[in-house]
Amino acid sequence: MNDDAFLRIADLSVGYGATRVLERLDLAIGKGEFVALLGASGCGKTTLLRAMAGFVAPSTGTVAVDGRDVTLMPPDRRGMALVFQSYALWPHMTVARNIGYGLKLKGLSRAAIDRRVAEIETLLGLEGLGARKPAALSGGQRQRVALGRALAVDPQILLLDEPLSNLDARIRLKVRHEIGALQRRLGITAVIVTHDREEAMAMADRVVIMEAGRIAQQGSPEEVYSRPASSFVAAFMGAENVLALEGQVAGGAVHIAAGRQSSSATLTLDGRLLSSGRLEARFRAEAVEMVAADAQASRAEGLTIAGRVEAASYLGGGWRHSVRVGDQTLFADAARPFDSGAGVELRIPGDKLFLFNLPTSSSAPDATALEAAAELSPAAPRGPVERVLQAS
């Protein structure tokens, strides 16, 4: 890990009874960095955030801030502030009293509290709302009050537990921009928990994807999106279309065998860590170029799959199609709708196709994936093809 880390999680394990939620997890966060913990429900991201804050005691490992071990310290002595998902505002208190509550607990004078509350209200655009109670505020305003209460105590680290989940889509876009801009302006170290990949990518300097209590991958938003390290990460980052193929690795390239619905293809490895055998291919609907089956356009490096349109729906700015490929359904976007029943080709550029080795026989590979490979590769035994499209 980075020796200059401001917030350091080392060998951290957390369990509830016999259930292990976090397993020997390491994470280093730099001063002024904004990190998003991203993952599905139950992956351990909220438990990790609460362990940082001091609300969950680890069974092993340490939490350190600026070189100071805070593992056994109570939450109020860690130099952190947590914004809860529910905001946890006092309903009987005004906006001003909610924002100043932590300062009152610190024993500051009334004049000092009033000055700091006025600064926070100005910073967050809450001027004129100080006398209102939470029930008289919009969702976005309540979120700002919760954020203001956290910032009022000048924390070294700001922790955010899905703070935008209670807002409607329009307000969420506005507030996430405001939080990101505020974090950059203040230079505060921040960690946000979210299950929304777009939210994580829009706000954070680094995205940490969690799976079953471990870190599956971490990196810049662009790195994690464009170069997922595993099938799980690819699926979570939107590459929900999945195929099983046969490939041979030689001469710095992977040679994909032709199948009943797919063309042969030769792709440069370009950093992919692959070996010959059965491969899982994942790609996003928006990465597909969908053309009529009889189109004569030149084909760039990539994979071409023949299918038939089942349905099309308008998503705003384009059309998403479900396309039947053998006994599978894949999804592809296009600028115009294709008729139901139309024969089409799905062309996936090589750099948009994420390839991973399927488990070996000793690791008990998934039967549906192997049957899909049989359908797409003539070298494999024939058999019924099961649907292998998986939702992330």
pLDDT truncated to tens, each residue of the chain (392 aa)?
Answer: 455 799 999 999 999 888 899 999 999 999 999 999 999 989 999 999 999 999 999 999 999 999 999 999 999 899 999 998 888 899 999 999 999 999 998 899 999 999 999 999 998 889 999 999 999 998 888 988 999 999 999 999 999 999 888 788 888 888 888 888 889 989 999 999 999 999 999 999 999 999 999 999 999 999 999 999 999 999 999 999 999 999 999 989 999 999 888 889 999 988 888 999 999 999 999 999 999 988 766 566 789 999 999 999 999 989 999 999 998 999 999 999 999 999 999 999 999 999 999 876 544 434 333 334 333 433 333 332 222 222 22
- Can you tell me whether residue 246 is helix, strand or coil? strand
Contacts of residues 371-376 at CB distance under 8 Å and 24 or more positions apart, as own/partner, are 372/243, 372/244, 372/326, 372/328, 373/244, 373/245, 373/246, 373/278, 375/259, 375/260, 375/261, 375/326, 375/327, 375/328, 376/243, 376/244, 376/245, 376/246, 376/259, 376/260, 376/261, 376/262, 376/326
Assign residue 375 a region (left: φ > 0; alpha: ψ between -120 and 50; beta: otherwise): alpha
**b/e per residue, 68-92, with b = 16+ CB within 10 A?**
eebbeeeeeebbbbbbeeebebeee
Contact 325, 260 (CB under 8 A): no
Q: Give the residue extent of every domain in the chain.
A: 7-231, 242-376
> Starting from the edge strand earliest in sequence, which strands make up the sheet with 289-292, in order?
289-292, 343-349, 302-314, 319-325, 328-334
C-alpha span between 157 and 366 (Å, rounded): 43
Residue 183 dihedral angles phi and psi, to the nearest 5°: -60, -45
Here the contacts of 184-188 (C-beta below 8 Å, separation 24 or greater) are 184/34, 186/151, 187/32, 188/32, 188/151, 188/155, 188/156, 188/157, 188/158
Is the separation of the CB atoms in 322 and 310 below 8 Å?
yes
- Name the pTM for this structure: 0.83
Rounded (10°) CA dihedral 55, 58, 62, 66: -10
Q: Is the dihedral of CA 196, 197, 203, 205 positive or negative?
A: positive
Residue in 192, 176, 289, 282 with CA at minimum distance from that of residue 238: 282
Write out the H or E segment, with its range, that includes residue 111: helix 110-123
What number does CATH give the domain 7-231? 3.40.50.300
Q: Can you tell me the distance from the alpha carbon of 356 to that of 239, in angstroms, rounded to the nearest whole number?
A: 13
Contact status, residue 372 vs residue 385, Cβ threshold 8 Å: yes
Distance CA 374, CA 380 (A): 5
Looking at domain 242-376, its CATH class is mainly beta
252 HSE (CA, 13 A, CB side): 2
DSSP 3-state of 316: coil
